[in-house]
Amino acid sequence: MTQSLTVWTAVAALSASVAVAEEVRVYNWSDYIDEALLEKFEAETGIDLVYDVFDSNEVLETKMLAGGSGYDVVVPSGSFLQRQIEAGAFQALDFGKLSNSGNLWDVIKDRTATYDPGNAYSINYMWGTTGLGVNVGKVQEALGEDAPIGSLSLVFDPANMEKLAGCGVHFLDAPTEIIPAALAYIGEDPNSHDPDVIAKAEPILTAVRPYIQKFHSSEYINALANGDICVAIGWSGDVLQARDRAWEADNGVEVAYNAPSEGALMWFDQMAIPADAPNPEAAHVFLNFIMDAQNMADASNYVYYANGNVASQPLLEEDVIGDPAIYPDEATLENLYTTTPYPARVQRTVTRLWTKIKSGT
């Protein structure tokens, strides 16, 4: 024991010396920041920034639960954050060091408190909805002028899907997003943790499975922009990035995003500091930098996601703050739902159901 103690003291001393070198390691989602902001951070604070990216909550969570990730700031989504807080993965924030925390938006803080009671462990970075990305021209060609591009029946009604299969449909490879959507479609509680209710999603998804080209959580951005596919269930900002890429390429593809009328999942990506972060001091500096109104506005203007920073709103470009697909109006906001983490046993049922739907086994 004493021996391991010596080792740990050595490790601690080593990480302390790293802290003197002032380095902050950030682990964020891919395609999720304007890189100019990263340079600005280094120039303003003199802290070296190591910026790594991931593309799934599962990968991040596995790193967090294994411990010793070496990151100072990570960005899990709400329901994942909640479980990781429960597991003891994060340290409470020191708001004394976060002078910009007054910029945060109460509307979002109220909602994120579901996952992080009192918002003690995290601040909101971006939030968005999960909805329908469509290639308007191709969908109307397949289903007629009055195609239901704002309704889940577009993707869950086999009659529609049969006609859309030819031009390509992608679903997110995320059971915790698609199963709630299927439940919302049939009028069940999307946040249900009851295995019997969750099972009702199976026939809905199995019926349209033959018409789904792929389950993937990032390929649809390019596929939509290039016109390779005509419909995707995807994340709001990603679809809007596809819209922009198509517009820049001037390829005649018109991409639109709609939060479905039956209700859409609202999610929150939260910045938090791991309990074993090597440099929590610098992590706080980074969080404070991100909460600056101008910086947050720059980030949103770049990635087309809404943020939880009310002070940044006057600085947002009109095609961000004025777009109801990014900042939903009151009526749409009413129509959004959130989900909470499944208990382990239910999670297993959900994963198993997902495998069954995808592979037929």
Partner 1 sequence: MRRLLVGIPYLWLLILFLVPFGIVFKISLSDYAVSIPPYTPKLDIGAGWAAFTEFLGALDFENFVFLTSDDLYWKAYVSSLQIALLSTIFTLLVGFPIAYGMARAPEVWRPALLMLVILPFWTSFLIRVYAWIGILSTEGFLNQFLLWIGVIDAPLTLLNTKIAVYIGIVYTYLPFMILPIYSTLERMDESLLEAAEDLGCSRTQAFWLVTLPLARPGIIAGCFLVFIPTLGEFVIPSLLGGSETLMIGKVLWEEFFNNRDWPVASAVAIILLLILIIPIVLFQRNQAKETEG
Q: Which residues bind to partner 1, rule: CB under 8 A?
A: 1, 4, 56, 58-59, 61-62, 64-67, 83, 86-89, 173, 175, 213-215, 226, 228, 344, 347-348, 351-352, 354-356, 358-361
DSSP string, 158-214: HHHHHHHGGG-EEE-S-HHHHHHHHHHHTTS-TT---HHHHTTHHHHHHHHGGG--E
Taking the complex as a whole, the smallest distance from the CB of residue 1 to partner 1 amounts, in Å, to 4
CA distances from 132 to 110, 198, 237, 238, 260 (A): 26, 21, 11, 11, 7
**Residue closest to 263 by CA, chosen among 149, 340, 150:** 150
Q: Residues 261, 335: contact at Cβ < 8 Å?
A: yes
Closest Cα to residue 286, out of 81, 25, 15?
Answer: 25
- Please identify, using beta-carbon distances, which residue of 7 and 107 lies nearer to partner 1: 7
Q: How far is the CB of 57 from partner 1 (least distance, A)?
A: 9
Q: What is the dihedral of CA 179, 183, 189, 193, to 10 degrees?
A: -40
Task: Return the number of the residue (157 or 228) whose C-beta is nearest partner 1.
Answer: 228
Phi then psi for residue 132, to 5 deg, are -105, 120
CA dist., res. 271 & res. 264, Å (int): 23
Q: Give the DSSP letter string of 278-343.
A: S-HHHHHHHHHHHTSHHHHHHHHHHH--EESBGGGGGGS-HHHHT-TTTS--HHHHHTEE---PPP
Q: Name the residue nearer to partner 1 (CB basis): 130 or 312.
A: 130
Any idea what the Cα angle at residue 79 is, between residues 91 and 35, rounded to 5°? Answer: 70
**Residue 67 beta carbon to partner 1: minimum distance, rounded to whole angstroms:** 5
Q: Are 77 and 57 in contact (CB under 8 A)?
A: yes
